[in-house]
Amino acid sequence: MRACAACRGAPAGHDAYTACVSAPLRPPARRCPPARAGWLAGLRTTLALALGTATLALPAAEPPTAGAPPAAPAASAAGAVSGTGQRIYAEMQPRLLQVRTLLKTQDSQSSVGSAFLVTPEGHLITNYHVVSSYALAPQRHRLVYATVDGQQGALQLLAFDVLHDLALLKPADPAPLRGRGAVPFRASDGPGSEPERGARIYSLGNPLDVGFAVTEGAYNGLAERHYLPTLFFGGSLSGGMSGGPALDAQGRLVGVNVAARRDGEQVSFLVPAALAQALLARGRNATPITQPVHAEIERQLLAHQAGLVDAFIQQPWRAASHPRYRIPVPMEAFSRCWGSGTNTATRGLVFERSDCTMDSAVFVDERLRTGTISVRHETYDGSNLGALRFQQRYNDSFHNEVVGRRDAHRVAAQCTERTVAAGGGLPLRAVVCLQAYKKLPQLFDLSVLTASLDSSHAGVQGRLDAQALSFDNAQRLARHYLEGFGWTTTPPSPQTRPKTAPAAAPKPASR
Amino acid sequence: MHAWPVTLGRALDNTWVLDDPHVAPHHATLTLGADGLPQVQVGDSRNGLQIGRRRLRAGEQMPLPAAGAVLAIGGQRLRLRLAGAPVAPEWPLAQPSVAGAALWVLLAAWVAAQVLHRWVQLDPGADLVEWLPWLLGLPTGLAVWCGLWALGSKLFRHGFEFSSHAAIALAWLLVYEVVDLLVPTTAAAFGWPWLWQVYNQWGLPLLGMLVVRSHLRQLLPQRAWAINAALATVLLAGVVVTGVINQRQLGRVFSAPYMPTLPMPALRWGATTPLPAVGDAMVPLRDALQQQARAAAAEDADSGDTGP
């Protein structure tokens, strides 16, 4: 998906698959574990493979990577739970539930996840993505819970937080869930509100619909460079555990299971407990949702983009240290940049590429993750090629960009194009494309493509993509991005290239 | 035939014996009427005969024009011409439309254009092997194309007019090279995306149709009108169908979202706009998109899809 999107523009001859695999850290693909039946099947295969690999790798006696728990990777779900884990499971299992979204017409499940009780009256918290089918089409779905001891019943959706992927539910009939107690929240402020880094935490849920389980792992604080606060859990989370609680050794809620990286081992994510507490406070007396929630999703996404775009525009652009061009590259405050390039000794076109993407996409449904900003550029040096050959390659590179295709949620993009005078009068071809959401009428996806037009043997092409913006912010962001381009020095005459690199702008302290 | 009446049929006592199982033993008789014009009478035949659009049954009779009447008897077509009727003029033998030297000039020009093309695509110092597919593939393709048309000529014109078809193909290929260089470059130089879009969407189909038209006219010179009408219909239908599909699916006529050709610095003659103009240009996009989104949402609701 996104990982491969990042590899798509790889230089000709690079097989996209190899590129992704050979750079194991690269794909920012974040997956939400719960899911649909198809997903689970896929996951099962992956899990089997992972187990096989772990077993095979064991005799090689590789040094354990820093931060990895002593338990054998990927096997922790199966066993190796400490005494604390047993105690926590025993204490918490009455408050642990499985949430199923069923198709009304055929009673087959469209997704499963986990949940836990947070009030004695039976309010329970899970992930938004566990109940997204219901939230978007309540007339076609219904929600049911199943407890560890086999109780079942219907659920109502009270409130949700699409940005942080949380939902608040309550049972239609509270009687069977009464008297089971509630999972306590860990105090969210004050000293000691956060567990120590490396502290054991215990994640509960029903992985792959196999059965309720407890998984042990390490607390690693907030995941870095995530715009939306997300806890990094050094343990294994599998599909179906989404929405389950992650507890400290005293059985207090630290976070809610939400996602895991497939390209790593035991790199999982939790939603901080404070956000669940806020959702509970906001929604515990709400009337149950019976209509599609697009308007509320739109409201939350609008609030998200307002903050995100403000924060994005407030950070200065980072210097790309190119001798000729000033290129907008975002600070790595909440995005992650990957670079690549050709060997400078090549006979052909020499180019360098930078690709900055955000990890925290907002899950709306299986086919729509949104709310991120990504920025990319490629610089070209065709001094080995001559003007004609350079122009052919430079054009081809500008040709192969894909903008906003029509899909289930969005209509096809519309573009406007101009040659604009960027910083210092740098002539820049600018293509600005907008894409609209069918059911979120105030939101737009923005893509800006740029290509410098000042030289017959060098150039820079850039691309910014941002999803789910208000129109005003789309305008602001497009302008902000275009303003980031320019010459590094006073306009050189078109035929002479600056021989020496100007003093590079001070680099920000790396995070 | 030198005497009237003329009898036609399968029996051996006819003036003209037609060895055709769909013909009666005594199928028809041609006689000269009192007015000096021939007439035909159908004998004891099950199938009768057909003259022009008119079908005659057994026993029916019909006067014929002095020249040019075509009688369909069984599976045979007979054209009646009286001794005094004027004869159509002689057809010229098929001549190559371009003489030998000119053909070689066309070929040389095209080869030069292709070599330049390939040269631009290959990096400096590229292995000579990289030229091979190009140098073998293109002439082979051209030869196959012309050969197929020449086979058509053989079928309809009884001459394997390879060089005529080669001249047609080469001439149009050169036209394509020139147009394909000039139009996108002009569009990029002046900043005219509409020109690029029009050419990108319709240029190649139009050129293709013109090539096929030239080949077909070489093949069937008498059918010029029908060829023009058929090709124009196909082209028009293609343009309309693509336009309608794009309008429905993309909300715009043109398939490509933007003009990807960039001008070389020396050929950039279009004006630059200040940055704020870009923001203003987004406003009409917003309005069009919101309208499309509303229409698409309504369509989804109609088709029962309640997904987001």
> Around Cβ B241, how many Cβ atoms within 10 Å?
10
The pLDDT tens digits of the residues spanning A472-487 come to 999 999 999 999 999 9
Please determine, for residue A25, whether its predicted confidence score (pLDDT) is greater than 50. no
Q: A191 pLDDT band (50/70/90 cuts)?
A: low
The pLDDT tens digits of the residues spanning A258-281 come to 999 988 889 999 999 999 999 999
The more confidently predicted of residues A70 and B58 is B58
Determine the Cα–Cα distance for residues A28 and A335; give it in Å rounded to an integer.
10
CA of B294 to nearest chain A CA: how many angstroms apart? 6
Residue A438 touches partner B, C-beta closer than 8 Å: yes
**Predicted pLDDT at B76:** 83
Angle (CA) A227-A184-A159 rounded to 5° is 55
Counting as low any pLDDT under 50, the low residues of chain B are 306-308
Side-chain half-sphere CA neighbours of B62 within 13 A: 20
A296 Cβ contact partners less than 8 Å away, ≥ 6 residues apart: A160, A162
User: Could you say which of B121, B281, B290 has the minimum Cβ distance to residue A416?
Assistant: B281
Mutation site, B115, B185, B278, interface A, largest A CB count within 10 A:
B278
Residue A139 touches partner B, C-beta closer than 8 Å: yes
* Mean pLDDT, rounded, for A395-400: 94
* Cβ neighbourhood burial of A503 (10 Å; 0-12, 13-18, 19+): exposed
Determine the Cα–Cα distance for residues B105 and B122; give it in Å rounded to an integer.
26
Determine the Cα–Cα distance for residues A501 and A488; give it in Å rounded to an integer.
9
B278 chain-A contacts, CB cut-off 8 A: 416, 418, 420, 430, 432, 478-479, 482
> Residue A394 is inside which H or E element, if any?
helix A387-399
Q: A80 pLDDT band (50/70/90 cuts)?
A: low
User: Could you say which of A137, A471, A478 has the minimum Cβ distance to residue B278?
Assistant: A478
Q: A319 pLDDT band (50/70/90 cuts)?
A: confident
Residue A419 touches partner B, C-beta closer than 8 Å: yes
Q: Report which of A353, A354, A341, A345 is spatially closest to residue A383, judged by C-alpha positions.
A: A345
Q: Do B272 and A420 touch (CB under 8 A)?
A: yes
Please determine, for residue A230, whether its predicted confidence score (pLDDT) is greater than 50. yes
Percentage above 90 pLDDT, chain A: 64
* Mean pLDDT, rounded, for A306-321: 91
Please determine, for residue A50, whether its predicted confidence score (pLDDT) is greater than 80. no
Q: Do A433 and B257 touch (CB under 8 A)?
A: yes
Q: A47 pLDDT band (50/70/90 cuts)?
A: very low
Q: Do B125 and A415 touch (CB under 8 A)?
A: no
CA of A351 to nearest chain B CA: how many angstroms apart? 14
CA of B111 to nearest chain A CA: how many angstroms apart? 19
User: Could you say which of B264, B275, B306 has the minimum Cβ distance to residue A140?
Assistant: B306
B293 chain-A contacts, CB cut-off 8 A: 410-411, 436-438, 441
Q: Do A347 and B123 touch (CB under 8 A)?
A: yes
B289 chain-A contacts, CB cut-off 8 A: 411, 414, 434-436, 444
- Amino acid identity of residue B74, one-letter, is G
**Predicted pLDDT at B304:** 61
Mutation site, B253, B285, B286, B300, interface A, largest A CB count within 10 A:
B285
SS3 B285: helix
- pTM passes above 0.80: no
**Predicted pLDDT at A73:** 38
**Predicted pLDDT at A342:** 86
Determine the Cα–Cα distance for residues B264 and B147; give it in Å rounded to an integer.
40
The pLDDT tens digits of the residues spanning A429-447 come to 999 999 999 999 999 999 9
CA of A457 to nearest chain B CA: how many angstroms apart? 10
Residue A456 touches partner B, C-beta closer than 8 Å: yes
C-beta of residue B37 within 8 angstroms of C-beta of residue B64: yes
Please determine, for residue A71, whether its predicted confidence score (pLDDT) is greater than 90. no
Q: Do A415 and B260 touch (CB under 8 A)?
A: no
**Predicted pLDDT at A160:** 97
Determine the Cα–Cα distance for residues A258 and A252; give it in Å rounded to an integer.
17
> Around Cβ B148, how many Cβ atoms within 10 Å?
11
DSSP A401-431: -------SSBPPPEEEEEEEE-BTT-EEEEE
Tokens of A214: 């407890």
Q: Do B258 and A395 touch (CB under 8 A)?
A: no
Q: Do A347 and B268 touch (CB under 8 A)?
A: no
Mean pLDDT of chain A: 81
Q: Do A418 and B278 touch (CB under 8 A)?
A: yes
Q: Do A292 and B120 touch (CB under 8 A)?
A: no
Between helix B224-250 and helix B204-219 the angle, nearest 10°, is 160
Determine the Cα–Cα distance for residues B134 and B100; give it in Å rounded to an integer.
25
CA of A385 to nearest chain B CA: how many angstroms apart? 7
Q: Do B308 and A297 touch (CB under 8 A)?
A: yes
Number of Cβ pairs < 8 A linking chain A and chain B: 173
Side-chain half-sphere CA neighbours of B250 within 13 A: 19
Helix (DSSP H) and strand (DSSP E) numbers for chain B: 7, 9
CA of A472 to nearest chain B CA: how many angstroms apart? 9
C-beta of residue A384 within 8 angstroms of C-beta of residue A477: no
Q: Which residues pair with A281 in a beta bridge?
A: none
**Predicted pLDDT at A192:** 66
A189 Cβ contact partners less than 8 Å away, ≥ 6 residues apart: none
Please determine, for residue A3, whether its predicted confidence score (pLDDT) is greater than 70. no
**Predicted pLDDT at A41:** 30
